[in-house]
Amino acid sequence: MADLRIADVVVIGGGIRGCTIALFLSRAGMRVALVERRFPAYMASSANGGEVNVTDKRPAHYTAMSLQSSRMYPEFIGSLENDIFLQQKGILHVALNQEEMERLEQRVEELRQIPGLRVHLLDARQAKELVPALAPEVVGGYVSPDDGLVEVLKLVPAIVHMARRYGATILSKTEVTGIVVEGGRVRGVATDRGRISTPTVVNAAGVRVPHIGRMAGVTIPVDPEHGHLVISEPYPRLLPIPTEYVMQWPNGSIMIGTSNTKIGYDLGVHPEWLPVFLKDAMRLLPELRNVKAMRVFANIRPMPPDRLPIYDRVPGVEGLYIAVGHSGITLAPLTGKIFADLITAGRTDMDLGPYSLSRFSAGTAN
Ligand SMILES: Cc1cc2nc3c(=O)[nH]c(=O)nc-3n(C[C@H](O)[C@H](O)[C@H](O)COP(=O)(O)OP(=O)(O)OC[C@H]3O[C@@H](n4cnc5c(N)ncnc54)[C@H](O)[C@@H]3O)c2cc1C
């Protein structure tokens, strides 16, 4: 097959991870080709809650990693040319009874051990001052200004725009069909539109990371995890900051999530699962009963078995990297930096030990 082009790095997958990595690498002066089988943000990266969520991450090293990314967000958004809504005032976590409050207090104690993380325990009055629409049963909660919300629908297009500005080539409607490995190192990528010669490949194909891995003889354990989101018609301001699964965008529309189900690669909406999380949301915010739903969508999260990212160089295949996991929005700027550092300087300041492929016994290269 004829060579389509030559690149220093080929990034596979035009989701938030692939696009951010392509942006950071091209900004560092590398010739980057990003290959996307449909179009950027085709999958989960345009169908998610937009939360930059630090305090829902466990264990502590993952909370700290998410915090580092959250702190990078203002500069990251500022470096893009588009105007993107970013609010970093917290996500309100609430308790509806004393037992839940004890769990929250315990969680706040854990969070206070994370260096630099800001977290405030709230009584019922303080919680209702932040979100007056809360149900009267709410007994308290916590909030961390390190949690936030970003306008996700504009984010990936803005990143792609900047990556192009720095010289990255975005190959949409191009599917990777093979990885060329010779003598234990990457030589190129085969696509349905020709071959790209390259010494470096980043596998950021989301739920299809395992398929790409197999092309190079590598087993990568990632399962799709299905989730729904319900979007309302614009409504007068109800949520100055989001609660755990309910957020309001500047145009007034309210977004309510979510379900977590393992049903393979199914992207469909399953109406029978909606009442479960909608009831929870209405219990917390009774006024949601007056809000009219406009749209429901579903997508699948790329989820490793321990729910932590896999950020690694593939052992045994020189030049092959993996970038996959949940919470790609939260981790976006840090992900770009980690892979740009690994690829351009051969090292990163982050301890990637907990995110290695070798933590799974299955992660072996042939
Ligand atoms: C309902 C829901 C709510 C969520 N809420 C949040 C949230 O609030 N905050 C948060 O941080 N995260 C959230 N997430 C998770 C977040 O959306 C994902 O972690 C993130 O979008 C994954 O990005 P990615 O770039 O790794 O993968 P993806 O977005 O899945 O992108 C992978 C891309 O690879 C392409 N591809 C696959 N195979 C090939 C191939 N052979 N050749 C070329 N291209 C290929 C695909 O077409 C796709 O565009 C949510 C997810 C869901 C489903």
pLDDT tens for the chain, residues 1 to 366: 556 689 999 999 999 999 999 999 999 999 999 999 999 999 999 999 999 999 999 999 999 999 999 999 999 999 999 899 999 999 999 999 999 999 999 999 999 999 999 999 999 999 999 999 999 999 999 999 999 999 999 999 999 999 999 999 999 999 999 999 999 999 999 999 999 999 999 999 999 999 999 999 999 999 999 999 999 999 999 999 999 999 999 999 999 998 899 999 999 999 999 999 999 999 999 999 999 999 999 999 999 999 999 999 999 999 999 999 999 999 999 999 999 999 999 999 999 999 999 999 744 444
Q: At what angle do helices 332-345 and 60-78 cross, to 10 degrees?
A: 90
- Ligand 1 atom having least distance to the Cα of 13: 34
Cα 288 to ligand 1 centroid, rounded to whole Å: 28
* Residue whose pair of structure tokens reads 């090293």 in the numeric block: 61
Q: Which of helix, strand or coil describes residue 147?
A: coil
Compute, in angstroms, the gap from residue 113 CA to the centroid of ligand 1. 30
4, 196 Cβ separation under 8 angstroms? yes
Count of beta carbons in the 10 Å neighbourhood of residue 161? 15
Rg of the chain over all Cα atoms, to the nearest angstrom: 21
Which element (helix H / strand E) includes 230?
strand 223-232
Selection from 52, 71, 293 nearest residue 151 by Cα: 52
AA letter at 328: G
Q: What is the pLDDT of residue 2?
A: 53
User: Which ligand 1 atom is nearest residue 51's CA?
Assistant: 8
Query: What DSSP designation does 307 have?
Result: S
> For position 196, what pLDDT does the model report?
96
Q: How far apart are the first and last CA of the chain?
A: 25
Distance 139 CA to ligand 1 centre (A): 36
125 in helix, strand or coil?
A: helix
- Distance between Cα 21 and ligand 1 center (Å): 14
- DSSP SS3 for 351: coil
- Beta-bridged to residue 232, according to DSSP, are 293
Q: What is the pTM of this model?
A: 0.97
pLDDT of residue 233: 97
Domains of the chain: 3-48+154-220+306-359 (3.50.50.60), 92-143 (no CATH), 223-303 (3.30.9.10)
Ligand 1: residue of 327, 330, 355 to mutate (most ligand atoms within 8 A of CB) is 327
Quote the tokens at residue 344: 């351009």
Asked if 174 and 38 touch (Cβ cutoff 8 Å), the reply is no
Q: Other C-beta atoms within 10 Å of 294: how many?
A: 12
Q: In what order do the strands lie in the sheet with 3-6?
A: 3-6, 194-197, 185-191, 176-182
Which residues are near ligand 1 (CB < 6 Å)? Answer: 12-18, 35-38, 42-45, 47-51, 53, 175-176, 204-208, 227, 229, 257-258, 299-302, 324, 326-330
Determine the pLDDT at residue 1: 53
Looking at residue 192, the DSSP 8-state letter turns out to be B
Residue with tokens 């749209």: 295
- Closest-CA residue to 191 (of 26, 349, 37, 20): 37
Instruction: Tell me if 114 sits within 8 A of 64, measured CB to CB.
Output: yes
Residue in 190, 240, 275 with CA at minimum distance from that of residue 12: 190
